[in-house]
Amino acid sequence: MSDSSSVTINPKNAFKSIKLSEIVDSVSYIRLENTKESLIGKAHEIVVKNKFIYVRDAINQAVLIFDLDGKFVSKLHKKGEGPDEYIRMEGFLVNEEEGYIDILDFRAVNSRIIRYSLDTFEPLNEVPTFLPSSNSVRKEKTKNIYYFSTQQNENEIGNELVNAALIAVKENSPPVALFNKKIVNDGSFFSPNTESLTRNKKGEIFASLMYNNTFFRLSDMKAEPVLTVDFDGYGIDNAIGLKSVNEQKKYLKNETDGLASFPVLNIYDSNITAFTYYFKTAGRNQLHHYIHFKNTNQTFHTRDIINDLTNYPEKVYLSSYYYAVNHEVLHENYLVDVVLPWHSNEGKTIEIPGVGKIEPEDNPVIVMMKLKDKYIQ
């Protein structure tokens, strides 16, 4: 039985800003060590777990491992054409005990998942697997079921081209296209964000779709609605998603000023619901935040979150895809933001009291924000 609910918000009523101190007690930092060996070309995904931090470098096709203080530990870099090497890393997954890492090796019809030991990086096994073109992936904890956020990118299933929003893949079973449609693309694709999936503390997986204001819980190869956002007449016409890609781009460019689009669920936990969306003003998309704390029945609906607790960064973004770095926004009792110094520093060296100097060329800095006790008890 579905427990779907809805929330109505008017994007024009969002506050211009709120202070970070309204929702968190303190800010701390994890500086990812910046050495020749640990230099990250482009961080596409950062996973913070209980033992280590894992970073997928999209340029160098490697996974770098740091301890929870940010000190570099090791690197999985086995790109090549050998039997135990991957040709194109399209994602990775680390098991709960952090004993092994699965690399999604995209090789068209010969794609596979290679499992490596996290101690030695020795290969443990490999499984031939259908790997679609997607922006993110999650695996059910107790089942060999994978969910790929394909965001209407074209994939082929059973000799049929599909533009599904999600594709579920189970070992030894045919892939299942969820929210399928067929659109004219002329070889052109785009995604409004790089992360459409999130997992809560219970291990449940949730998906945000490209032209859909409803968020879904994923389980057993199916999607169940959990929350719908009503933009009170200020949302884009999601029916445009059934038109060609060129028509979609034209509509989004020319006809969406003053409208909200592409909500993404970032947190859906027992005490916290948080999502972001775009609101276009004067031709520019602004990221807006919506955060609801169940314990206190408080809601924060704002454009900016100003960091009034420390000097870095000036603003925080509770978004799982900002700067195109995928990450979970909630870890234990901390909100998480990822800052890229090359962008945030604006070419300057910034010194954080008690942390040190952050140079523009440094690796990403993970910002850990301790939630106020009243929101998590």
Sign of CA dihedral 156, 159, 162, 168: negative
Look at the chain and count its residues. 377
Work out the average pLDDT over 146-175: 95
pLDDT recorded at residue 3: 61
From residue 332, give the alpha-carbon distance in Å to each of 50, 108, 159, 192, 314.
9, 37, 43, 28, 24
> Mean of the per-residue pLDDT values for the chain?
96
Residues 352/358, Cβ–Cβ less than 8 Å: yes
Residues 329/318, Cβ–Cβ less than 8 Å: yes
- Provide the 10 A C-beta neighbour count for residue 244: 14
How far is 295 from 23, CA to CA, in rounded Å? Answer: 13
Query: Would you state the torsion angle of the CA atoms of residues 62, 209, 279, 324, taken in this order, to the nearest 10 degrees?
Result: 0
For the segment 190-242, what is each residue's pLDDT rounded down to a tens digit? 999 999 999 999 999 999 999 999 999 999 999 999 999 999 999 999 999 99
For the segment 17-41, what is each residue's pLDDT rounded down to a tens digit? 999 999 999 999 999 999 999 999 9
- Provide the 10 A C-beta neighbour count for residue 77: 16
How far is 2 from 241, CA to CA, in rounded Å? Answer: 25
Quickly state the pLDDT bin for 108 (edges 50, 70, 90): confident
2: pLDDT strictly greater than 80: no
Q: Which amino acid is present at 212? A: N
Residues 365/30, Cβ–Cβ less than 8 Å: yes
- The conformational region for residue 233 under phi > 0 = left, psi -120 to 50 = alpha, else beta, is left
For the entire predicted model, the pTM comes to 0.96
- CB environment 360-375: b (16+ within 10 A), e (fewer): eebbbbbbbbebbeeb
45: pLDDT strictly greater than 60: yes
